[in-house]
Structures are given as structure tokens and as C-alpha cells.
């Protein structure tokens, strides 16, 4: 068995969906497993030229790969079934390919109602926080106890360790949210309620010795959605928001924008052991031809894209991992 892991190194919305979709097209994965979060996530995927937004369902379904909602996830049944219907209506056989771990936790309508009252964190109001709270308080309900999931349930231990072709298993772990929203490493309390690091994939049942590649995903600038003040004080961020379509794919909220924080990127790369990094939305800054980033207390401005790329790559290769492969990507559909 081998496993690759995808983690977002900023505040979500960096293009994990695209990276997962590209990796599925290039590797012979036997399973794709979502390892954290719930329908607070919104992954934008272009498949055969068509745009899809998924919340619960891992992107293996676009490639005929069995796709599992892992034990680290929370799941809202109505949203899940609606998503399957919508994908099937577009010709994606999600109903035959998607499975739910019996130990994943349910987001109830009660959790949603409670989350709708949030005014401090700026949550997606999808019931995530209350569902995880009840899980850890040992008051939660698990998918295995909910009859609606009868035809979808899977025991991930049996699926992996009692698999006749254990040696041939190739798993892609698809994460949700990002390092800056991680409940331990993010800017608490402006965080989500799950773990968004490589450690979270391991919690889903595949130990470190099987991990091959850890793919980090970032953007050339940063975005954040939520209650804290984040946006930089410059009109250019309005332009980036429009050009980059920086509006939440789950809630439609405008994302706050700022320049890339190199120190966060370095920290997230170290803590996740990133050996492949994709820095997305390169085309947006190319269009504006403005190249800035923060490091320490300084704002650096570069003359051109080559200088910007070289600065980031050489620092990461020197400070994190000299063998890290870094891809600057300006395409919506593939890396």
C-alpha cells in the first residue's frame, strides 16, 4: 500500500479540488478518502470542461475510483444525498462509488440550527462545530447508527487491512479547509473544528510508513473567509477578488484578500512534511503584474514574476526541503 496526501497550507480555497483531480488522472489510485471536515468545504473541480462544486464527496467519483468519507469527517445526510443526486444527473456515477465510514459523525439539523446563530467566528453555518463538539463530548451519532446510510456504509479497517490486494492499494487522501484554519495550528478561535494537517490523514487509519507524497496547496496571494479582519489595505485586493473570482463556493461570501505570507507557507510546509507544492492562481497576478509577499515584518515587492518565483522556491528549498518540487500554476483545470 502507498498513500498520497493533499493538504491546504493557507486558509482553504487554494485549489485542493484541482490538485486531487489532476493526481487522480495521473495515478492508479484504488481509493480516494476525505479525511476531515464536512459540508463546510467547497471544492471546485473542472471535469471534461464542466465546472462542479463538491462539498462532501471526494473527487475520485469523477474517475471511477471508490471514494470514501473517512472517520475523521462529519456528514450531513440531506446534503450528502442531494450531492449524489446532482452528480448523477450530470452523468457521474457517484451513488455506486461513494462510501461512508461507519464511524464518521452525523451533522444533525439541530447542529445546523445552532451554528446558524454564530456571530463570532464567521462559520459557514453548516453545523460543523456543534457536530465535532458532540463527537468529542461523546454525545454524537455515527453514520453506522443512521439507517439512511445503510447502502453506503464501509468499515475502513476491513476495506484496507482485509483487502485481498493490500499490497496494490494506492490511496489519495483529500483534505478540507487549511493549515490556517486548523484547530491546533490555525489562528484560534478563528478556525474550523477539525484537523487540517497531514496528521489528520493518519488519524483516518493509514500510518506514516505508507505515506509516499504529501502535496501542499497554496495560492500566490492569500484569502480568508470569516469574522476576523484579514484584508490588506490596498485597492488592488478588490481587483484580485474580481479577477480571481474570490467568493466562497459554499456560502458565496466575498473572501478577504492579502499578500502571501511566506512565513506561514514555510511553517505549514514544515509541519506537514510537504515534498510537492502547488502554488495556484499564478495567472491572476500575471494579469496584474504585481508581485508582493510578506516575510517577517516586511512587505517585499518584486520587479517581475521570475524574481518572485525564484525567491519563494530558493527559500523553501533552502529552509524546508531541498528536494521539494514546486509548481506555480495558472490554470483552472490542471496543475
Looking at the annotation, which residues are catalytic?
13, 43
Please identify, among the stretches 34-42, 97-105, 153-161, 319-327, the one whose residues bind ligand IMP according to the rule CB under 6 A.
Answer: 34-42
Phi-psi region of 26 (alpha: psi -120 to 50; beta: other; left: phi over 0): alpha
Angle between helices 128-136 and 109-116 (to 10 degrees): 120
| Residue 208, SS3 per DSSP | helix
Task: State which of residues 4, 8, 13, 83 lies at the interface with Mg ion (CB under 5 A).
Answer: 13
- Does 216 engage in binding with ligand IMP (CB under 6 A)? no
Residue 329's binding partner among ligand IMP, Mg ion, none (Cβ under 5 to 8 angstroms by kind) is none
Mask for 248-277, x = binds Mg ion (CB under 5 A): -x----------------------------
Rounded Cα distance, 30 and 240, in Å:
38
Choose, by CB under 6 A, the member of 33, 61, 98, 181 that binds ligand IMP: 181
Q: Could you say whether residue 226 binds Mg ion (CB under 5 A)?
A: no
> In the structure grid, which three cell numbers stand for residue 47, read together?
471535469
Structure-block grid coordinates of residue 52: 462542479
Helices (H), ranges, 6-99: 16-26, 77-89, 94-97
CA distance 161 to 153: 17
The answer to whether 75 contacts ligand IMP (rule: CB under 6 A) is no
Among 67, 128, 272, 329, binds ligand IMP (CB under 6 A): 128
> Least distance (Å) from Mg ion to the CB of residue 12?
5
- In angstroms, the CA 333 to CA 86 distance is 21
Name the site residues for ligand IMP (rule: CB under 6 A): 11-13, 40-42, 121-124, 126, 128-129, 176-177, 181, 190, 192-193, 225-226
Amino acid at each position: 500500500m502507498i498513500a498520497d496526501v493533499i493538504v491546504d497550507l493557507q486558509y482553504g480555497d487554494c485549489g485542493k479540488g484541482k490538485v486531487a483531480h489532476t493526481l487522480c488522472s495521473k495515478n492508479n489510485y484504488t481509493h480516494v478518502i476525505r479525511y476531515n471536515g464536512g459540508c463546510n468545504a467547497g471544492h471546485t473541480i473542472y471535469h471534461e470542461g464542466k465546472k462542479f462544486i463538491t462539498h462532501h464527496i471526494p473527487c475520485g467519483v469523477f474517475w471511477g475510483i471508490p471514494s470514501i468519507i473517512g472517520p475523521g469527517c462529519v456528514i450531513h445526510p440531506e446534503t450528502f444525498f442531494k450531492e449524489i443526486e446532482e452528480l448523477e444527473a450530470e452523468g457521474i456515477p457517484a451513488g455506486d462509488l461513494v462510501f461512508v465510514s461507519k464511524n464518521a459523525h452525523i451533522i444533525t439539523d439541530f447542529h445546523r440550527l445552532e451554528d446558524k446563530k454564530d456571530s463570532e467566528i464567521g462559520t459557514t453555518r453548516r453545523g460543523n462545530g456543534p457536530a465535532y463538539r458532540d463527537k468529542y463530548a461523546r454525545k454524537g451519532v455515527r453514520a453506522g447508527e443512521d439507517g439512511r446510510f445503510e447502502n453506503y456504509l464501509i468499515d475502513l479497517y476491513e476495506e484496507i487491512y482485509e483487502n485481498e490486494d493490500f499490497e496494490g492499494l494506492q490511496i489519495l487522501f483529500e483534505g478540507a479547509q487549511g493549515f490556517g484554519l486548523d484547530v491546533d495550528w490555525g489562528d484560534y478561535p478563528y478556525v474550523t473544528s477539525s484537523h487540517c494537517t497531514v496528521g489528520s490523514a493518519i488519524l483516518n487509519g493509514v500510518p506514516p510508513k505508507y505515506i509516499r507524497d504529501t502535496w501542499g496547496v497554496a495560492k500566490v496571494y492569500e484569502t480568508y473567509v470569516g469574522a476576523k479582519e484579514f484584508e490588506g489595505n490596498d485597492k488592488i485586493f478588490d481587483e484580485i477578488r474580481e479577477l480571481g473570482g474570490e467568493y466562497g463556493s459554499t456560502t458565496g461570501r466575498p473572501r478577504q484578500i492579502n499578500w502571501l505570507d511566506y512565513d506561514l507557507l514555510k511553517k505549514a510546509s514544515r509541519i506537514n512534511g510537504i515534498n510537492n507544492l502547488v502554488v495556484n492562481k499564478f495567472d491572476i497576478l500575471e494579469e496584474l503584474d504585481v508581485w508582493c509577499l510578506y516575510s517577517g515584518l516586511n512587505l517585499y515587492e518584486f520587479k517581475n514574476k521570475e524574481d518572485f518565483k525564484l525567491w519563494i522556491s530558493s527559500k523553501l528549498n533552502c529552509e524546508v526541503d531541498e528536494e521539494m518540487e514546486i509548481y506555480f500554476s495558472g490554470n483552472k483545470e490542471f496543475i
